[in-house]
Amino acid sequence: MKLDLDPHAPQSIVRRDFIRQLAAAGTAAWMTGQPKMVRGAGLQHPEAKADACILLWMAGGMAAPETFDPKRYVPFEKGLEVSQMLSTFPAIDTAVDGMKICHGLENIAQVMDRATLIRSAVQPDLGSILHSRHQYHWHTGYVPPQTVACPHIGSWMAKVLGPRNDVMPAFVNVGQRLEGVGESEELKAFTTAGFFGSEYGPMNLPYPEEAATSVKPPKGMDANRFANRDKLFRKLVDQSPHRDYMSDHQQQSLIRSMDNAYRLLSSKEREAFDITLEPKESYAKYDTGRFGRGCLLARRLVEAGVRFVEVTTEYVPFFQWDTHKDGHTTVDGLHKEMDLPIATLVKDLEEGGLLDRTLVIIASEFSRDAIMEGKPGSIANDQATFKVDRLEEMKHYGLHRHFTAGTSVVMFGGGVKRGYIYGETADERPLVATKNPVTVMDLHATIMTAMGISPKTEYLIEGRPFYVTEDGKGKAVTEIFA
């Protein structure tokens, strides 16, 4: 399907077109047959460096110059030209000589000796730079819309590698509401197993502190009543009018996903979902907000055998990392929410002997800039709330435009080098990647290679080949592996 979005059109029209095309692909997914792996055992998968993956998703556009790629620090001053504003936080030392990150991330700074820091990730403009389009691209590896519903990278891992523990879901998504927030339909479009089927989709847990209730039968329900309710629910699903619109594969996949859920609700492993069981001293280190508690839940789930966990700061338009105003003040608060939990997660995994075999990734859909939308030469609409040439108020201070030409990604564990920097961006604007640019396709190839999945992994769906990296052309950045 060819994308037909006018970059000059009003954002409401672009978004409406995008939703319509996504909905068509999503509906088609229910009618698809069983995907078949091409070449099967003949495909040469790399030796896995990691068994589990935790994606810490900074939803909304984490500005690299305010986090992991500090530039010249320019403090707030009334009347300062916006074009002179680069980093709004000073740089601090880390545990690695010569590697600096931004003030506010002091705890993460002390664990960067376990990390590879990629400073040269790049993204395309995609016509109009919508968060939902870039998030879809990052999470699936494909530019939307497509003629099929593309699987999330967590679903690829669930399908190709299977569960680490048969009782636990292979893919858990923590922290993102899919109802009642802006752009919810677009979020649902990539938070899915797509054509693989329901059994490989995510278990969605918007509130980590409520995760335990998701894996417990309702209060007062005994085992017999619980079993009877499960039978009745299956009967209702079988009689649903929507059943006629589902392929046999999708119907069977839905039933298997119900079997998996029933098995989990009947198991002891469900205690991993109850973060209140964590010792108080440990819990306090993660208790900085929903994201921090999500990091704690992720650690407990990986310990219990979950294959892939995504923890997000949550995407809500003009909230959190989507800093179209009050950028510096907002990011200062986000530093406080993410710093200690991420550092604690890395240390806890290491102390538990799991970090070497767990790939932990900090990433976002793109970076931000003070004056530039997209990248040099982009024709995308300027989406900053305040289009001012000089700083007059604190709400103007911060990086408010989307920037796709130089983004930071941090990786811990999972076979990556320790205390290593890959790529770089310019010291002065435009802050484009100037060395070793890494595309989304190659970043996916790198992640999949770490997990023991060939970037050329291919399935046939509706008679067409579909790859884990676009057209199977992703090239892993092997230089980052120890």
- Percent of the chain whose pLDDT exceeds 70: 82
The answer to whether position 70 is within a domain reads yes
Look at the block and give the residue holding tokens 């990629």. 118
pLDDT digits (tens, 9 = 90+) for 397-442: 999 999 999 999 999 999 999 999 999 999 999 999 999 999 999 9
Strand order across the beta sheet in which 36-37 lies:
36-37, 458-461, 464-467
Q: So what's the pLDDT on residue 177? A: 96
Contact between 187 and 177 (Cβ < 8 Å): no
Greater model confidence, 66 or 183: 66
Look at strands 52-57 and 308-312 and give their pairing.
parallel
Out of 21-30, 174-183, 419-428, the most confident range is: 419-428
Contact between 401 and 383 (Cβ < 8 Å): yes
Residue 378 is encoded by which pair of tokens? 């982009």
Residues 6+ apart with CB under 8 A from 174: 205, 206, 208, 211, 294, 297, 298, 309, 310, 311, 312
In this predicted structure, the answer to whether residue 453 has a pLDDT above a threshold of 80 is yes
Rg (CA), the chain: 22
The answer to whether position 470 is within a domain reads yes
Query: Which of 285, 301, 275, 302 shows the shortest CA–CA distance to 342?
Result: 285
The answer to whether position 19 is within a domain reads no
The answer to whether position 1 is within a domain reads no
The answer to whether position 383 is within a domain reads yes
pLDDT digits (tens, 9 = 90+) for 98-111: 999 999 999 999 99
Residue 104 is encoded by which pair of tokens? 């506010």
Q: Which helix (H) or strand (E) holds 425?
A: strand 424-425
Residues 6+ apart with CB under 8 A from 20: none
Q: What confidence category does residue 310 fall into, taking pLDDT thresholds of 50, 70 and 90? A: very high
In this predicted structure, the answer to whether residue 339 has a pLDDT above a threshold of 90 is yes
Q: So what's the pLDDT on residue 3? A: 43
Q: So what's the pLDDT on residue 391? A: 96
In this predicted structure, the answer to whether residue 462 has a pLDDT above a threshold of 90 is no
CA atoms of 327 and 335, how far apart (whole Å): 12
Instruction: Average the pLDDT over each of 90-94, 244-248, 432-436 and give the range with the smallest value.
Output: 244-248
Instruction: Give the predicted TM-score (pTM) of the model.
Output: 0.88
Domain span at residue 130 reads 36-215+243-480
The answer to whether position 229 is within a domain reads no
The answer to whether position 277 is within a domain reads yes
Instruction: Average the pLDDT over each of 8-17, 91-100, 254-263, 349-358 and give the range with the smallest value.
Output: 8-17
In this predicted structure, the answer to whether residue 444 has a pLDDT above a threshold of 80 is yes
For the domain that residue 84 is a member of, what is the CATH number? 3.40.720
Q: How many domains does the chain have?
A: 1
In this predicted structure, the answer to whether residue 36 has a pLDDT above a threshold of 80 is no
The answer to whether position 25 is within a domain reads no
In this predicted structure, the answer to whether residue 263 has a pLDDT above a threshold of 70 is no
